[in-house]
Structure 1
Amino acid sequence: PGYHVLEAGDTMLTLAVAPGRCFSVADASGAERARLWALAVQIYALRRTGDFGIGDFSALSQIAVKAADQGAAALVLSPVHAGFSADPHHFSPYSPSSRQFLNPLHADAHVVFGGPAVEAAAAALDRAAEIASLERAAMVDWPVAGPIKLAILRHLYDQALPRMPELLADYQAFRNAGGPALEGHARFEAIHAVQFGADPSRWHWRTWGDGLDNPESAAVEAFARQHPDEVGFHAFLQWVADRSLAQAQNAARSAGMPIGLISDLAVGTDGGGSQAWSRQADMLIGLSVGAPPDLLNGVGQNWGLSAFSPRALIRSGFSAFREMIVAAMAHAGGVRI
C-alpha cells in the first residue's frame, strides 16, 4: 500500500505516496504517557532453562513481561538477523548473512511444538546432558551450542512435523507466503552447507563456480530439485524463528508495553552471505564497508560488509530496502537504524 508503478512509454518508475507525517512514539503511547523509557538487551546475554545457553526469543518474552511490569514502554534488541547455519564460528549479529531473515539459533521450538516434543528430540539424539551443560556455562559457546540446537530442530523437522497436520499446514503456508525471497535464502543456506562442508575455502559464494554462484542459474534449480529436504529445512528454521519472535512481541504488548520490541538493523550484510548472493543486482558486490582511521586504529577498519547500490535502489524503486525494513518491523513496534 502506498507504492505505485507509473508507466510512460518505455519508462517505468515507482511512486511512493507518503502520509502527511510518520507514526510517532506519541501515537503509540497515547496522550496519558508523557515520558517513556526502554530497556536495551543483548539476546545472547539472556538466560532461561531450555535456551541452549545462547538466549532465545522466549527468554526475550520473559524479560519483556518483567520490564513492562516496571513501566518500560519498549525493549531494544540486538540484531536478530540470519547468520550462517553451516559455520557456527561466524556468529556476530553485526555481520549477518541476511538482514531480511532471522537467526534460527534464537528460535524456541517449544513455542511451536511444545515442551514434550522438544524434550523427546533431545532424548532421541542423546543431547540432553550437553544442553544442560551449555546452560550452566558462564560464557556463550556458539560453536558447540549452534550445531546441537540445529540438530534438535532437524529432528523436529524430520520426525515431528510430518505427524502434526496443523503445524505442517502452517509451515507450508509460511513458506508459500515467503515467496522467492525465502526460497532464495533457504537455497543459499543449503548450498553453503554443502560447499563449505566439502572445502572450507569455499565459504564465500563467489568461490563456488559451476553456476552455483548465480541464484537464477540452472545449476541452482537442479540443486534445489536434488536436495528438497535440505532447502525445506532452512525454510522451516525461518518459520520456527518467525513464530517465536511473534510470540515475544505479543507478550510485550499484552504485558502493557505501548511499543514492545524495537529491532536493530545491522550496518550491512556480509558480502559472502545470503542477501548478497540472492540480490546481486541490488548490491555493491566489490564494496567493503568499514571505518576511517582514528586514534585507536591508524589504518582504519575493514568490516567485510556489503551495502546496497544507490543506482540499483533507484531503478527498483528502493524495493530491496523496503523489503528489509518490512522484515525488521514484522514483529516489532519500532526499528533502530
Structure 2
Amino acid sequence: MRIVLLGAPGSGKGTQAQRLQTKYGVPQVSSGDLLRDAVARGTELGKQAKSVMDAGQLVSDDIVLGLIRERLSRPDAANGFILDGFPRNSEQANALNALLEELGQPLDAVLLLDVRNETLMQRLAGRRVCPKCGTVYNVHTLPEGVTSCEKDGTELYQRPDDKEEVIGKRLAVYDQQTKPLIEHYSKLGLLRKVAGEGELEEVSERMEAAALAKPVPASKVKLTKSSPKSSKPATKSSARASAAKSAKPAAVKKGAAKKGAAKKGAAKKGAKVGKKAPAKTPAKSKSSAKSSTKSKAAAKQRSAAKGKAPRKTPATKGTLSRKSSKRPAARGASKKPASKAAGRKARAKK
C-alpha cells in the first residue's frame, strides 16, 4: 500500500492515515510530523522550518524531501507507506515521483478527502493534539471539561497553525497551490475521491475501499467532458447481450418466413393435385340466359293450363338483372305456344 492522502487542512487526513496504519501495518509519513519533530529536536532544518510554519506558509521542498527520503529508508516502510501532507503543489508532485522511482516504490493511489469549507473551519479551530503520542482530538467532540489525552493523560494543546488568524491563510494557500494536484493525478489515473464528512467509521470504510482498489493504468485513462445525458459505457458482456437481443427477433422473423414459404409451397402442391376452385362465380352467358327464360315461360304456360297461378320468382334470386330477364321471356312466350297450337291443328286434319 503506497498511497498519498490529499485534502485541505482539517479534512481528516491524519486521522484516517493512523487508522490505515494500525490495520495494515504500513507507516504514516506526515510531512507536518516530520517537521515538528525536527523543530522539537532543534536541528538546523527544524529552526528554519519553525519560522515558516508559525506564519502559516509552506516549508521549502528541499527540506521536506530530505526528511521523506530518510523516513522511507527505514525498514518499516519496506512494504508501503501513507504519505500525509505532501506533495502540496505540482512541483512537489514531480519531485516526489522522481524520489519514489529512485527508491523503487512508485505510488499505487492518491486519495482525495472531500470536505466543505464550513466543516474545515470548525475542525481546525477546535482541534487539539497530544504532544506525546500525536493523537488528534476536537473540542466539539470531547466530553465537557476533558483537556488531556485519554491514552497517556498528557495535556492537549492547540497548534499555532490551528489558530483562526492562520487558518484562513492556510486554506487560501491550499486553494491556490494544492487543488491543481487533483487534475495532475487524475491524468495519471491515480486519483480516487472520497467523501470526507460523516461518521468516522463510515469515512474509514470509504478510505479503505479506495486504497485497496485495483489501480488503473495511466494509458487507459481518458478525460472527457461530461454530457447532459449520462450513458453507461458498453462492456463486452453488454454488447454481446444487445447483439443477441437484436439477433433473436431477426431469427424469429427468418423462421416465420421459412414456415410461411413452406405453407405456400404445400398450397401450390395441393392445387395441382385437386381441382382449383374459382375465386368468383362467372356471369351466365346470353344463351344460357335465354334457355333459362324459355323454360320458365313454358312452366308458366303449363301452370296456367292446369288452373294454377304461376309461382313468382323472388327478385333477389338469379344472377340476371330485371331488364334483361323480361326481354327474353316475352320472346319465348310468343313463339312456343304458337308452335304447339299449329301442331295440334295438323294432327286434327289427319
Same fold (TM > 0.5):
no
More contact order relative to length (CA 8 Å, sep ≥ 6): 1
Q: TM-score, normalised by structure 2?
A: 0.26
Q: TM-score, normalised by structure 1?
A: 0.26
Structure richer in helix, relative to its length: 2
Q: Which has the higher Rg, Structure 1 or Structure 2?
A: 2
